[in-house]
Structure 1
């Protein structure tokens, strides 16, 4: 691919990983009145986790919301829901979304350490710095300025790492203070730490402290710029950050069927809900020093999928989508975080029709490189 940077030797040889958004929040992942055969209840999600595990997915990401809105009227809490999915599976890693402010790092450290023992170390965390001011106001939490939220998140992560690895841990930050604190038992292995965001503050935080960086959906060129930026910054400290990208997958037997499904989603979009979501995310972006955030360049159509998943363009036949995934890998993406219209059926289809093609293409690339 022209303009693609050369991935590291590690990234060349390691298979790209697949994760899915856990629908523990009602309403599905598109702001549309189109049929979405999915459910936020636990029985549906236990079965979905088992299907995903059998289909080649390594990770599942639970969502965190505290208030109803934008089609998400009901929500199950992320840590307890993650534990339930881990109990229903054997290999799947589940990433629990954590929001500093409502959570204190000591509570999270203890929750995760205990669940780590119950499940063989398969629980990770995704530290969400927060973009929805109304949610904080509704539960009486102080709303920090944009970069202050990321400074708090960085302290949160540093505390987690310290508590999980040291006895008599002490920390004196602007947001958290610990004095000779010892947590026992510690996790059976160091839990992976994910984070998201696209601002300067988010990327710099990832380069310093996070294992994984999630970015919104984007074009190949847009993703490459973010990957190159984070890798350059993290290399200065010898810290490697893996990259995950959001995508909404619409895979059908033919490209025409896939495009028709996308058109159906957009035709039935809920304009009032999309505009309300747009208002909140624009406010969040305008508060950043760059005056833009994750959704600064998102059109109405992009915003129908919460995290710009249509932009990644995993829409088409299995062969087309598999090749586009290899294009993502070529610019440094380590994991694709996927949303679907009909979760159980489409994750199974993706596992049967797309992942084997991706693995075959990876093997062919390795053979040619050798």
Structure 2
């Protein structure tokens, strides 16, 4: 099933503004709203970092239809798995069928400043994630959970307020192992656009299928979500310039890996030209070009497109997109 979503840019806007955008997204026909869970934004100047779960509770109260989720939350450091289970149990009870828990292994930028911890390697972070998912699901489905893991423990713990149907867990990944894990244990898979086509065609989707096959599942059994970085505006020059706020996305993984301070990340990002910052985005004034840029992702099996717009005037984007682009996407892939 085709879904079209809106990415609420928590790093860029105040919580109140984000609520207005989320409500407008529902009014203009979007199917979902996903919010990133950052303790600190990618840049210090003009940055924001509202609490994603508090914000989702408010958005749920102000809307009636739209699916809400985190893209993505790290349930292993700032958020203890037991508290994640409790929080999403409450959200799922309040807004049954409208809540998604999107998870990932995390960024040091968000966890180290809050906890003062040493940021572990990828292997440990993935191990923590797998254990956290086991604990969260146990707490959603069992009473008096005593859990003895390598990283987390509970003693006779019960989540008393939880939905009849557990909240779906979407696993975010950009590598083979975590993508295979998403296929084996997730109700959804999340990744981002703008990287080499071979990553999606040769690594991500084959590993997702392999993980699904391991559990006797098919592609239709999982939501395949991709965040599309789209700077769409009738003014093409404006669309290009809008990408500058998100310059950090154009930095290489090596440049970002050890950065734990928004001021340092901002300095690196601001050294880039608008040509460089635009490189990770679809920058266009042509609705038909958006459809053509999506076509390779749809052909690979992605069915849930969540659009992240970089500009300061999100209401302008939502209205232009919903009238000029959304109908073409639904006609092409619906």
1:53 paired with 2:30, answer no
Q: 1:315 to 1:236 in 2, by over 3 A?
A: farther
Whole-Å Cα distance in 2 between the matches of residues 161 and 85 of structure 1? 25
Contact 1:163 1:182 in 2 (8 A): yes
Whole-Å Cα distance in 2 between the matches of residues 22 and 208 of structure 1? 28
Whole-Å Cα distance in 2 between the matches of residues 139 and 358 of structure 1? 43
Corresponding residue of 2:299: 330
2:175 paired residue among 172, 184, 199? 199
1:19 paired with 2:2, answer no
Whole-Å Cα distance in 2 between the matches of residues 302 and 243 of structure 1? 30
CA offset at residue 278 of structure 1? 6.0
1:110 paired with 2:99, answer no
Unpaired runs of at least 5, structure 2: 260-271
Q: What is the SS of the residue equivalent to 2:94?
A: helix
CA offset at residue 204 of structure 1? 3.0
CA offset at residue 248 of structure 1? 1.8
Contact 1:132 1:280 in 2 (8 A): no
Whole-Å Cα distance in 1 between the matches of residues 214 and 145 of structure 2? 27
Corresponding residue of 2:212: 234
1:248 paired with 2:235, answer no
TM-score (norm 2): 0.81
1:86 paired with 2:72, answer no
CA offset at residue 309 of structure 1? 4.5
CA offset at residue 132 of structure 1? 2.1
* 1:320-361 deviation line (CA, Å, top 9, x unaligned): 212433432221002112111231111122111222122222
Q: What is the SS of the residue equivalent to 1:337?
A: strand
Q: 1:46 to 1:270 in 2, by over 3 A?
A: closer
Q: What is the SS of the residue equivalent to 1:249?
A: strand
2:158 paired residue among 177, 182, 186? 182
Q: 1:270 to 1:116 in 2, by over 3 A?
A: closer
Whole-Å Cα distance in 2 between the matches of residues 163 and 86 of structure 1? 23
Q: 1:63 to 1:134 in 2, by over 3 A?
A: closer
Structure 1 runs (4+) greater than 4 angstroms displaced:
268-271, 273-280, 299-303
Q: 1:228 to 1:316 in 2, by over 3 A?
A: farther
Bigger mean CA offset, 49-58 vs 134-143: 134-143
Corresponding residue of 1:358: 329
CA offset at residue 25 of structure 1? 2.3
Q: 1:214 to 1:362 in 2, by over 3 A?
A: closer
1:131 paired with 2:100, answer no
Contact 2:38 2:110 in 1 (8 A): no
Q: What is the SS of the residue equivalent to 2:150?
A: coil
Contact 1:164 1:183 in 2 (8 A): yes
Q: What is the SS of the residue equivalent to 2:140?
A: helix
Q: What is the SS of the residue equivalent to 1:64?
A: coil
Q: 1:234 to 1:171 in 2, by over 3 A?
A: farther
CA offset at residue 138 of structure 1? 4.9
Contact 1:101 1:141 in 2 (8 A): no
CA offset at residue 228 of structure 1? 2.2
Q: 1:89 to 1:318 in 2, by over 3 A?
A: same
* 1:46-67 deviation line (CA, Å, top 9, x unaligned): 2211211122222212222223
Contact 2:232 2:239 in 1 (8 A): no
Contact 1:24 1:40 in 2 (8 A): yes
CA offset at residue 150 of structure 1? 1.0
Whole-Å Cα distance in 2 between the matches of residues 65 and 303 of structure 1? 24
Q: 1:187 to 1:303 in 2, by over 3 A?
A: farther
* 1:98-132 deviation line (CA, Å, top 9, x unaligned): 32211111111111112222223422212131122
TM-score (norm 1): 0.74
